[in-house]
Amino acid sequence: MPDVPPPPPASNTKVLIAGAGVAGLTLAILLDKAGIAYEIFERQEHIKPQGSAAALGFNIMPLMEQLGLLDELKSISKVVDGTTLYKEDMEVIREIRLRDNRALTGYDTLVTSRPEFHALLTSRVSKDKIHMNKHIVGFTQDIDSVTISCADGTIYTGDILVGADGAYSSVRKILYRQMKDEGILPASDEVELLSHYLSILGTTRPLDPKNYEGLEDDDSHSDAVIGNERGLSWRYFTIPHNRVCWRIDVQAKDMDPALYENWLNAEYNVFDVTQLPEEWKHHKLPIMGELKDLFDSSPKESISKVVLEDRVYETWKHGRTVLIGDAAHKVADRDIRKKENWMDGKFNGRAMNAILDGVVLANLLYEMSTPSQKNINKALDEFYTERFPSVTKELNATQQMLTVLAGKTWLDSAARFVLLKLVPKYFKEKSQEYTLQYRPQALFLPSIESRGSVPNTPQRPSRKYTALQKNQAAATAAAAAVTAAAAAGIAASEVNSDSSIS
Ligand SMILES: Cc1cc2nc3c(=O)[nH]c(=O)nc-3n(C[C@H](O)[C@H](O)[C@H](O)COP(=O)(O)OP(=O)(O)OC[C@H]3O[C@@H](n4cnc5c(N)ncnc54)[C@H](O)[C@@H]3O)c2cc1C
């Protein structure tokens, strides 16, 4: 754990956070430490225990350590040492090892279940700051403030609205409508979301380790299979307590249109696996068994489906409103695409990007002297300048790689052979300079020293925090001087009283 930071300065900014997902909760934890007032508004009455794996790479680990979350995170995770990509007949296409990353960055890639990671973040936010059952349906903003309205008729006012309300963000929709009316919404952001992938995901109960290979191993078994059926793949991670986080991805354009129509719903909703084609249930797993085993041993209410699409919106901010996490970008979420990330030696899933958004934004809000529109513009511009190029770069890389990995033509196969077998080093080297170094920390907390051989990207220190540290050091020195003087006084009086006795 880092040293005790100086107490945060009094802040006159109030942040309204839409959504208690990974992005909203991470930002909340950070704002709390920065001494900035905030409230979270979450539309659900109770958090759904849904979702599969949350894979968390080294980019966020120094931050987790700063926040005192790393040890607990490790206790609910397994280390991802690498992944193996298979064909449907279980022929290995490629193995990708991540062990080097520990030496390079000082941290492992960890995998846990999304609900458990979510619960860990939730446990660090004061309950009275999270308002459940608050579905944001509208907001207005002007030069002085922003006001949200919820479906239950309540309204709340603050200085900044953070749309952390996920892939189908209401805040984004409302903001874009306002900007369109003002004639300032870029044409690219007017286009509706086109969904290309459907995912079905779940987490099993503890399985019998006798029936599956490596379930009890300390490291996670992370495998992905590219199915013979066009656009179909499945993958899993083993996680603590002999459980498996699994996922099936289907390319929508390759599906039976009837099935696709039924699934065309943006939310993570409970899904009944009996709807799946019978033959899918018998697809093999590299750890033994078949997909059906995973379906049968997952609690029904935990199996969900979602329609996914990689997308980076161009507009992330306007006035007093900013979008973070999936509300602004959804990149590198699917199994197959993540192969490319592993090849690059990185692992930036959507949760990772949401966390990185949170820390960059919190640093900038901390530095703001007052929540004037001018200061907010400056902070949000800097946020966008740092984060937009980074997620766009990931999107481009994953899209290029998807064609190579998922393509079914002979040309795709040839390209796959060349890229996976012959030149993986190229991908590794290509991304190292950016990916390995980018490990941003909270600038208002004691920093964590770089552990690996590749140093962190330097961050401009916070002027506010440096001044506080100086004051704290001066106060500590003054207190020490007083104590020393008092001790010296006692010693002198003791000498005097001794001499008076003699
Ligand atoms: C139930 C669920 C299951 C998921 N499972 C997986 C998974 O297995 N694998 C994976 O890679 N990703 C999963 N995700 C997505 C993953 O959590 C995110 O991609 C990532 O963590 C980025 O988080 P986020 O906070 O930006 O978005 P999210 O995690 O989607 O969080 C957004 C939050 O905002 C709330 N919200 C939405 N609209 C409003 C509104 N109008 N007013 C108030 N609140 C609102 C939502 O209820 C949600 O809690 C899941 C998301 C959800 C909600």
Distance (Å, rounded) from C-alpha 144 to C-alpha 371? 9
Distance (Å, rounded) from C-alpha 276 to C-alpha 2? 50
Q: What ligand 1 atom has the least distance to the C-alpha of 52? A: 8
Structure-token pair, residue 122: 């939730």
For 452-470, how does the pLDDT look when each residue is reduced to its tens digit (9 = 90+)?
Answer: 888 888 899 999 898 888 8
Q: Where are the domains of the chain?
A: 14-48+67-72+113-193+309-435
Model pLDDT, residue 337:
41
Between the CA of residue 22 and those of 29, 120, 125, 221, 455, what are the distances in Å?
11, 10, 12, 24, 27
Q: Which of 16, 17, 41, 43 to mutate to test the pocket of ligand 1 (most atoms within 8 A of CB)?
A: 43
Amino acid at 398: T
Q: Please name the residue whose Cα sits nearest to atom 7 of ligand 1.
A: 51
CA of residue 485 to ligand 1 center, whole Å = 58
Contact 302, 203 (CB under 8 A): yes
Distance (Å, rounded) from C-alpha 33 to C-alpha 501? 56
Model pLDDT, residue 423:
46
Residue 143: helix, strand or coil by DSSP?
A: coil
Q: Which of 114, 177, 308 to mutate to test the pocket of ligand 1 (most atoms within 8 A of CB)?
A: 114
Model pLDDT, residue 437:
82
Whose tokens are 């797993």? That residue is: 285
Cα angle for residues 351, 356, 359 (degrees, 5° grid): 125
Amino acid at 488: A
SS (H, E, C) 317-344: EECCEEECHHHCEECCCCHHHHHHHHHC
Residue 452: helix, strand or coil by DSSP?
A: coil
Contact 330, 199 (CB under 8 A): no
Closest among 252, 283, 137, 270 to 200, alpha carbons compared: 270
Residue 262: helix, strand or coil by DSSP?
A: helix
Task: Write the DSSP string, 375-410.
Answer: HHHHHHHHHHHHHHHHHHHHHHHHHHHHHHHH--SH
Q: Please name the residue whose Cα sits nearest to atom 22 of ligand 1.
A: 351
Give the chain's radius of gyration (CA, Å). Answer: 25
Distance (Å, rounded) from C-alpha 236 to C-alpha 255? 22
Q: What ligand 1 atom has the least distance to the C-alpha of 170? A: 41
CA of residue 166 to ligand 1 center, whole Å = 5
| Residues of the chain where predicted confidence (pLDDT) is lower than 70 | 1-3, 192-196, 252-266, 331-348, 394-434, 491-502
Contact 282, 317 (CB under 8 A): no
CA of residue 164 to ligand 1 center, whole Å = 9
| Helix 424-435 vs helix 373-406: crossing angle, to nearest 10 | 170
Q: Which of 249, 268, 357 to mutate to test the pocket of ligand 1 (most atoms within 8 A of CB)?
A: 268
Whose tokens are 């966020």? That residue is: 60
Q: Please name the residue whose Cα sits nearest to atom 37 of ligand 1.
A: 165
**What residues does ligand 1 touch, defined as CB less than 6 Å away?**
18-24, 41-44, 48, 50-52, 114, 135-136, 164-167, 170, 201, 268, 325-327, 333, 349-351, 354
Contact 5, 444 (CB under 8 A): yes
CA of residue 38 to ligand 1 center, whole Å = 19
CA of residue 325 to ligand 1 center, whole Å = 9
Structure-token pair, residue 381: 């511009």
Contact 382, 364 (CB under 8 A): yes
Structure-token pair, residue 169: 């963000």
The pTM score is 0.88
As a residue count, the chain comes to 502
Whose tokens are 């902070």? That residue is: 379
Distance (Å, rounded) from C-alpha 383 to C-alpha 317? 9
Q: Which of 350, 359, 394 to mutate to test the pocket of ligand 1 (most atoms within 8 A of CB)?
A: 350
CATH code linked to domain 14-48+67-72+113-193+309-435: 3.50.50.60
| Helix 350-367 vs helix 22-34: crossing angle, to nearest 10 | 30
Model pLDDT, residue 411:
56
Distance (Å, rounded) from C-alpha 455 to C-alpha 264? 44
Model pLDDT, residue 271:
84
Q: Using the CB atoms, write b or e for 477-492: b if 16+ within 10 Å.
A: eeeeeeeeeeeeeeee
CA of residue 445 to ligand 1 center, whole Å = 27
Whose tokens are 């409970």? That residue is: 270
Contact 94, 233 (CB under 8 A): no
